[in-house]
Amino acid sequence: MKLYPLFRLDTLNGFIGIFIGLFFVLILIYSLDFMWKKRNLLQYYFYIILTALFSLVVVFTNDLRLLLVFWGLLGLTLYLLINIADDEKASLTAKKTFIIVGGSDCLMLLGIAIIYFLSGTFQMDKIKLSFNSSLTNLAYLCLVIACFAKAGAMPVHSWIPDCAEYAPLTVTAYLPASLDKLLGIYLLARISLDLFVMNSIMNIFLMIIGAITIIAAVMMALIQHNIKRLLGYHAVSQVGYMVLGIGTGVAVGIAGGIFHMLNHAIYKSCLFLSTANVEYRTKTSELDKLGGLAKILPITYLSCLVASLSISGVPPFNGFVSKWMVYQGIIEKLTAYSAQFTAQRFVAILCLVAAMFGSGLTLASFMKLIHGVFLGQDGDNKQVWAEVSWRMWLPTVILAVVCIVFGVFAYPVPLKLFIFPAVKGIDFIGTWHAGLSTLLIILGLVLGISIFSLRDLKPVFRKDRPFMGAETTALELTKVSGVEFYNTIKELKVLSFIYKKAEAGFFDIYEQGKRFVFAIGRGLQYLHNGVLPSYLVWCLLGMLGLFYVIIFK
Amino acid sequence: MKGLFSYLIFPGFLFSAFIGLIAGWLDRKITARIQWRKGPPWYQNFLDILKLLGKETIIPEGTSALTFIFSPFFGFLSAVLATTILGRSIIFPREGFLGDLIVVLYLLMIPVISIIIGASASHNPLASLGASREMKMALGYELFFLFCVSVVIIKTNGAIQLGSIINHQMSFKSNIFSFSGFLAFLLLVLFYLPAKLGFVPFDAPEAEQEIIAGTMIEYSGLGLAIFKLTKAILLYTMPVLLIVLFLGKDLSALFLILKYLAILLTVIIIKNTNPRLRIDQVLRLFWGPVGILAFLAVILAGLGY
């Protein structure tokens, strides 16, 4: 069977296919216990398998029509999977998701139609458009919005936090956290690298969207007190780095963006699965009810810690490497502009600061999570007694190990095998010696331990109750949970105004769209008042109009 | 082997810890003289560390003991690593790797993370308060610090390698001798350094009088000693980083020491003449006026001043 005109395997989509397979297997293993004795199990597994198959088709196809159809079907399975939870909130979320993702599919249809009109073919490897007409611009923007809706960049992000909060956690870990990111950013990279010849305005546009997404979403994450919603906002904010990286248009930046997409899928699904472990044991995901779980769920704690540090971009984990490449891309972009382009240079600098400060804010909200869930004082977790079963901790451990390997051996493993072949024209770039640095840190640790295990130097450890205000009894009464960690920030004057607006749904395109549609609807409602004479008047007026047209034209 | 030597002895652990502890003594001595006391002898800080190492370590009950014990070490080791990279780039400006500036900045964040995680593992409400303040403090100074660093990046034509930043300043002039560079440097010395080093007026996370040293409240013996050592190393590293970024024209030993002493003295004098700020005041100051000034510095740099 000849696959070529319909399907094509190249260096960009090959490794994405591999990772789709990996996430599929891990989620299947995980679901064995997590979904045990839930309703609609047969449907659940059916949709999970369908999603994996559809994703593979989307990734490997070479035909825009096929891409469009299966892209739309993925939106459908997402809708069905969110609905598995079978309560009111979930079905509202599913509706919202379907409207946003489906709406963007319509734009994609328009974009593909324009591409066909301009180039006369649906074969992706035959298309190469440059931005010389407004039609091309329109086509590109339509496709970009479709990618953004799938991956969750602003302003079409608002379904992800809701989905994270109300859908089953495995679904969130599977679709918005990993597969949708892979697909959305894959398509963005595909159209920006292959289908269109990028120009400087489009690059700047992507970079600004990326920077805004990073900062705005992470500021929202900072004040959340539900872990799942917090993670959902991070799933939005991290997309900013990928868009920013691809938007730089510089080889290092693009490679960084694609690498970040891969890394994000890995640590974010690890985080969602660890949260699922916590929720499975404690039956809650509210920060103020949790606390002190590190002793009870040690494996979950460690993998969650690794993933948190990765997402915050702490060396030597994988998030650091990709962020570092993105920064480098921005700086290269900055130097590429000569001194006359003050505005462009300025945007690049702002994006750089936004990206780096965004990673500080990410760190802050994950410190809150680690403190509130695993460390800190004990919450009301009375029913917890032991670590979850191996089928549930194994996927998180595997993902955490991948985080470490991709960080420490960034150059020999993921970059060389997956990323660099996919991006043309990369001349690497001094490596940062993650291996050597890690080795030095480990050596230092070993040295320290061996020195302190000498007989005379051995430190004496003793366990005692914590102590406050010269007594130990008051401790149970004063618990600092994660909820009030950043209230100071929330109460700053300007920010508190923005936060109030954001919580009222002011920046949510779905809420605004709803308001718009209902406003139109109210106008029509006014006409439909149910009184027979008024309908008769309408009929009469319509008839008169018709007669006028027929007789006098 | 060469890496191990520079990591453990020079310019890494032993060297930086020695300088840092001496600088810490200088701080104590000057503070004492300002307050009309006599002050400790020069070896006092070394004795303190040794004494702490000999004391027993008390671990709070019902917490993850491993996290509690090991988090100081990670902060300490990465501070040493950052110091090593920085020191080597001064001695051999051509040997660094591309983007080591960003690596150093990130490594210098890890001590903060280790303090926060250690404090969270302390099982104590005051420690939790301290941890939250520490993080907010970091968020506060990180914003204008990044603006100031971008001034350097613009000034040196997009160099993100410590070595090439030094080289650029050697062949032209120090970054401080321009309006934007001066403004950025001033902000960093007046606000960033005290905040990063946890000095008054920006020591809300470990305010002794309010929250009993907050983040450090449960630490004793070994862990406390490691935290103190980390602080000492940072007291050496942070001013040197500023010197490399802004005063890199002449890095011979004598000038390096003079510049270092000048920065250290400024920080100590600020420490002794100002009252502690509340954490919300700090945030308002750093994200408000200071942030705007730093932004102004970036605009000036972009315009070529």
The residues pairing with A425 across neighbouring beta strands, listed in sequence order, are none
User: Are the CB atoms for A238 and A208 separated by under 8 Å?
Assistant: no
User: Are the CB atoms for A439 and A408 separated by under 8 Å?
Assistant: no
Nearest neighbour of B98 by CB, restricted to A374, A429, A484: A429
User: Are the CB atoms for A260 and A242 separated by under 8 Å?
Assistant: yes
Q: 3-class secondary structure for chain B?
A: CHHHHHHHCCCCHHHHHHHHHHHHHHHHHHHHHHCCCCCCCCCHHHHHHHHHHHCCEEEECCCCHHHHHHHHHHHHHHHHHHHHHHHHHHHCCCCCCCCHHHHHHHHCCHHHHHHHHHHHCCCCHHHHHHHHHHHHHHHHHHHHHHHHHHHHHHHCCCCCCHHHHHHHHHHCCCCCCCHHHHHHHHHHHHHHHHHHHCCCCCCHHHCHHHHCCHHHCCCCHHHHHHHHHHHHHHHHHHHHHHHHHHCCCCCCHHHHHHHHHHHHHHHHHHHHHCCCCCHHHHHHHHHHHHHHHHHHHHHHHHHCC
Query: How does pLDDT run across B41-88, given as a tens digit for each residue?
Result: 888 888 888 888 878 888 887 777 788 888 888 888 888 888 888 888
Residue ranges covered by each domain of chain A = 1-197, 214-428+479-506, 509-552
Query: How does pLDDT run across B263-290, given as a tens digit for each residue?
Result: 999 999 888 888 888 888 888 888 888 9
The residues pairing with B57 across neighbouring beta strands, listed in sequence order, are A461
Sequence-separated (6 or more) residues with CB below 8 Å from residue B214: B119, B126, B127, B129, B130, B131, B133, B134, B205, B206, B207
Q: How far is CA A450 from CA A65, A447, B222, in A?
A: 64, 5, 14
Nearest CA in chain A to B153: A331
Chain position carrying tokens 């809708």: A79
Query: How does pLDDT run across B198-237, given as a tens digit for each residue?
Result: 888 888 778 777 777 778 888 887 888 888 889 999 999 9
Nearest neighbour of A361 by CB, restricted to B129, B131, B139: B139
Measure in Å the smallest separation between the Cα of B56 and chain A Cα atoms. Answer: 5
Instruction: Residue B63: list chain A partners with CB under 8 A.
Output: 292, 294-295, 375
User: Are the CB atoms for A204 and A347 separated by under 8 Å?
Assistant: yes
Measure in Å the smallest separation between the Cα of A352 and chain B Cα atoms. Answer: 8
Nearest CA in chain B to A379: B123
Nearest neighbour of A445 by CB, restricted to B73, B157, B158: B73
The parts of chain A modelled with pLDDT lower than 50 are: none
What are the structure tokens assigned to A196, written together? 């269109």
User: Are the CB atoms for A209 and A139 separated by under 8 Å?
Assistant: no
Residue of A296, A344, A363, A375 to mutate for B, most B C-beta atoms under 10 A: A375
Number of domains in chain B: 1
Give phi and psi for B175, each to the nearest 5: -65, -25
Diameter of chain A measured on Cα atoms:
113
The answer to ipTM > 0.85 is yes
Give the Cα separation of A483 and A121 in Å (integer). Answer: 55
pLDDT number for residue A474? 57
Instruction: Residue B55: list chain A partners with CB under 8 A.
Output: 460
Count of CB atoms within 10 A of residue A427's CB?
A: 6
Give phi and psi for B58, each to the nearest 5: -100, 125
pLDDT number for residue A482? 63
Cβ distance of A364 and B3 shorter than 8 Å: no
Through-space distance between the first and last CA atoms of chain B, rounded to whole angstroms = 45
Instruction: Residue B303: list chain A partners with CB under 8 A.
Output: 342
Check pLDDT > 80 for residue B116: yes
* Contacts A–B by Cβ distance under 8 A: 219
Q: Which residues of B72-98 are buried (b: 16+ CB within 10 A; e: fewer)?
A: bbbbbbbbbbbbbbbbbbbeebeebbb
pLDDT number for residue A546? 93
Give the Cα separation of A482 and B138 in Å (integer). Answer: 17
pLDDT number for residue A540? 93
The DSSP line for A403-446 is HHHHHHTTIIIIIIIIIHHHSTT----PPP-HHHHHHHHHHHHH
Give the Cα separation of A175 and A167 in Å (integer). Answer: 11
Give phi and psi for A223, each to the nearest 5: -105, 5
- Per the structure, the complete domain to which residue B240 belongs is given by 2-303
Given the DSSP bridges, would you call strands B57-60 and A461-464 parallel, antiparallel or unpaired?
Answer: parallel
Check pLDDT > 60 for residue B124: yes
Q: How far is CA B140 from CA A484, B44, B134, B244, B285, in A?
A: 17, 33, 10, 23, 8
pLDDT number for residue A385? 67
DSSP state of A458: P
Our CA dihedral for A178, A179, A185, A186, rounded to 10 degrees, sits at 130
Q: Which amino acid is at A99?
A: I
Q: Is A515 exposed, middle or buried (0-12, 13-18, 19+ CB in 10 A)?
A: exposed
Give the Cα separation of A127 and A365 in Å (integer). Answer: 43
Query: How does pLDDT run across A450-498, given as a tens digit for each residue?
Result: 777 776 667 777 777 776 666 665 555 566 666 677 777 777 777 777 8
Average pLDDT value for chain B: 85
Nearest CA in chain B to A352: B150
Residue A342 in contact with partner chain B when CB distance is under 8 A: yes
pLDDT number for residue A544? 93
User: Are the CB atoms for A70 and A50 separated by under 8 Å?
Assistant: no
Cβ distance of A353 and B147 shorter than 8 Å: yes
Diameter of chain B measured on Cα atoms:
59
DSSP state of A294: G
Residue A225: strand, helix, or coil: coil
Cβ distance of B103 and A432 shorter than 8 Å: yes
Instruction: Residue B158: list chain A partners with CB under 8 A.
Output: 331-332, 334-335
Predicted confidence band at B3 (pLDDT cuts at 50, 70, 90)? confident
User: Are the CB atoms for B176 and B188 separated by under 8 Å?
Assistant: no
Cβ distance of A301 and B64 shorter than 8 Å: yes
Give phi and psi for A126, each to the nearest 5: -100, -5
Residue A404 in contact with partner chain B when CB distance is under 8 A: no
